[in-house]
Amino acid sequence: MKKKTIIKIDYSLCGDGVKENVDPRECCKCLRICKPAIFLLHQTLGAKEDNPLDPECWRVTPLWASLCTLCMECVKACPANAIQITQK
């Protein structure tokens, strides 16, 4: 069977888990560098409509992992080294 690509983003380094309010919307390096555009920038599910502009409400999710070409550009591009790509 074909191997599955598993992309993990450490949310303690990027997005809503960071205490100093690092805004994933400002960075977006992984989103821009990914050729098949597998990442998705979105509000976290818990965050309700109250303030859609709060930086703590935003995170990046690898939504279409099966389209990953394993070029590893996002891993290199991430300034916080938050992305890990493995195959299973």
**Chain positions contacting other proteins, by CB under 8 A:** 4, 25, 27-28, 31-32, 36-37, 39-43, 45, 48-49, 52-53, 61, 63-67
Closest CB to other proteins among residues 67, 72: 67
CA–CA separation, 5 vs 26, rounded Å?
Answer: 27
**What's at 78, amino acid-wise?**
C
Closest CB to other proteins among residues 25, 76: 25
The distance of closest approach from Cβ of residue 22 to other proteins in the complex, given in angstroms and rounded to an integer, is: 14
The distance of closest approach from Cβ of residue 2 to other proteins in the complex, given in angstroms and rounded to an integer, is: 9
Residues whose CB is less than 8 angstroms from the CB of residue 46 and which lie 6 or more positions away in sequence, other chains included: none
The distance of closest approach from Cβ of residue 74 to other proteins in the complex, given in angstroms and rounded to an integer, is: 13
**Residue 44: CB atoms within 10 Å:** 14
